[in-house]
Amino acid sequence: MVDLLNFIVWNPNPIIGHIGPVTLRWYSMCWLVGLILGYLMMKKLYQQQHIPEEKFDPLIIYIFVGVLIGARLGHCLFYQPDYFLSSWDHIVEMILPIHHMPDGGWKLTGYEGLASHGGVIGMFIGIYLYCRRNQVGWWIVLDNMGICSGITAMFIRLGNLMNSEIIGRVTDVPWAFIFVQDDSYPRHPGQLYEAIAYGIIFLTIFAFYRKKGPKTIGSGFYFGLCLALIFVFRFLIEFTKEVQEPFEAGLPLDMGQVLSIPLVAIGIWSICTSKKRENDHAIKEEKEMSQKKEIKK
């Protein structure tokens, strides 16, 4: 029999309250806080790098829409394709924040299920479209995102913790959580592990940026460091988690680990090639300065 006094009993209400027909959830609010902090951080970076302010505001729209659509589709297609692709009603649920009730009506539920890997893919697509339309360097935006992403990821995982979802495996460690909404067994608080790790990763990458300065933005170093650190940790932390969907039980690696491998590879490649991009940028700047001096003569 489990002694509840030896562990942390976790049973928060996932709903904050209601404003008319709209339900406010901790999960959604944590996403919102994470995105706002990322927004403020990115705006500060743009100012430090003397990028025109009019080029900043469209970026947030592209990223917000890209992350939201990518995270939602990622959850539906990576983790529950058997449900969401089984009928037109479920396809509608995949796209809109509503649920088809047994009595034939529809209920506004919010997006119950967002996948971080899908959010990253959606972010890449959003950034690509933004760069094409606004003539901002692809690697500049990616590096700035690499600096900011950890703080947003931290709050997303805190949202998972408040939702009592993505729970860990049964354990007897003294900091184990008993997620009352799921069962009465002490489990690894995997969401909290990730939130703490992402906060540390954010501080680490920001410290590199403070030391190296804005001139190194555009090399791909910060982007690669962010991807490599976050998804190496994500790969390892999956060993402490329960499988999210039944089909993962028969796999040597779960879906989160499978999706992390290519992102880690991209991150390592970006770090390894960042010095060349930095040197190429320095040579380009030197040529531009020489041309300006020639024109003045």
Which candidate, 240, 231, 283, places its Cα nearest to that of 259?
A: 231
Residues 6+ apart with CB under 8 A from 54: none
* Residue 156: count of CB within 10 angstroms of its CB: 23
In whole angstroms, what is the distance from residue 172 CA to residue 103 CA? 44
For the chain, the residue count is: 297
SS3 60: helix
Written as one letter, the residue type at 275 is: K
SS3 148: helix
Residues 6+ apart with CB under 8 A from 121: 70, 74
In whole angstroms, what is the distance from residue 60 CA to residue 45 CA? 13
Buried b (16+ CB within 10 A) or exposed e, 39-67: bebbbebbeeeebeeeebeebbebbbebb
* CA 231, chain centre distance (Å): 10
* Residue 220: count of CB within 10 angstroms of its CB: 27
Range list of H helices, 52-137 = 57-74, 81-84, 88-95, 116-134
Which segments are annotated as binding site? 157
